[in-house]
Structures are given as structure tokens and as C-alpha cells.
Amino acid sequence: MKLYYSPGACSLSPHIVLRESGLPFEPVLASTKTHKLQDGTDYYTINPKGYVPLLELDNGERLSEGPAIVQYIADQVPDKKLAPAAGTMARYRLVEWLNFISTEIHKSFSPLFNPAMPEEGKKLSRERLMSRFEYVDKQLAGKSYLMGDGFSVADAYLFVTASWGQYVGVDIS
């Protein structure tokens, strides 16, 4: 497998999950600024969306979108318990967390990384993020991880998105 990634981007989440899974993979650096690989290949020829992550399977099939990728990886190594079994209520709770992180946290950071966004817009984004992190904090009360006592793919994704706060003035301490 190949994981197309960019340092600091959300592709860190499947990178973490791949390391936790123990599955062999090749990390391939894809610049989010130039949309080129280190050998000069136009990344759009690999992923028409132009962003990371992208997981290329050994058979050449490609999977994009971090929440889909981390679930795929987890399902390859069910003994690692990175995700509950498909079809269970626990799995739907995991999907619920992945969607919340994706739509309410991840995408709420986007305006903060945009230099053209007016400061008033950034202020609103920071307020929105703080309310989302307050919700997460309440859900984590008395638990070590989002899903209870065990690390899951949702924890990897939350870790990555929460770490972005230090770069854009969102203090979640």
C-alpha cells in the first residue's frame, strides 16, 4: 500500500492508524502547495481532488477521504481493535465521531488557515471550534479515549485536528 500524505495535514491520521495496524505501507509525500510529488509527478493525476490523504492499495485501487481510509485500515486488522466490528452499534458510534470530527472540527479550522479570511471571520471560527472542543471535553469526562477505554481511529483523527489549534490561536488546554 501507498499512503499519499503531507506533513501537518489530516493525512497524519491514517499515517498513525497504519503505524498502529502494523500493516506494511510506503509513505509518499504529496505537497499540498504545489500538488507535486517529489519526482515531479502532478498529484492531480493520482488524486483528482488534489488533497491528501489517499491510500493506494496493492491492486492499484485508490481510496480517499481520511475517515473512510482509517476504517478500511482498521478492518484489515480486526484483532488490533482500532474500530468496532462493522454493523454493530459501537461501529455506528465510531462513524458518528468521525463525522463530527470531520464536519465540526476539521472543516472549522479551514478559515483559520486562509490568509484572505478577515479577522472577524476567524474570530467566529475560533468561537465555533471552542464550543465543539467543549463538547468533546464533556464526552471524554471519565474516559481515556473517545470510544471508552481503548484507542480507536477516531482518537487518531481528533489528535491531528486538535493539534492544529497551536498554529491558529485556538487554545484547547
The helix/strand count (H/E) of the chain reads as: 7, 4
- Cell 500538488 belongs to 35
Distance between CA atoms of residues 123 and 105, nearest Å: 15
Cβ partners under 8 Å of residue 166, min gap 6: none
Q: What is the pLDDT of residues 65-117, one digit of tens each?
A: 999 999 999 999 999 999 999 999 999 999 999 999 999 999 999 999 999 99
Residues 124 and 112 sit within 8 Å (Cβ to Cβ) = no
- Average confidence score pLDDT of the chain: 97
Q: Which helix (H) or strand (E) holds 52?
A: none
pLDDT per residue over 3-23, tens digit each?
Answer: 999 999 999 999 999 999 999
Read off the pLDDT of residues 46-69 as tens digits, 9 standing for 90 and up.
999 999 999 999 999 999 999 999
Q: Is the pLDDT of residue 149 over 90?
A: no
DSSP labels for 88-143? SHHHHHHHHHHHHIIIIIIHHHGGGG-TTS-HHHHHHHHHHHHHHHHHHHHHHTT-
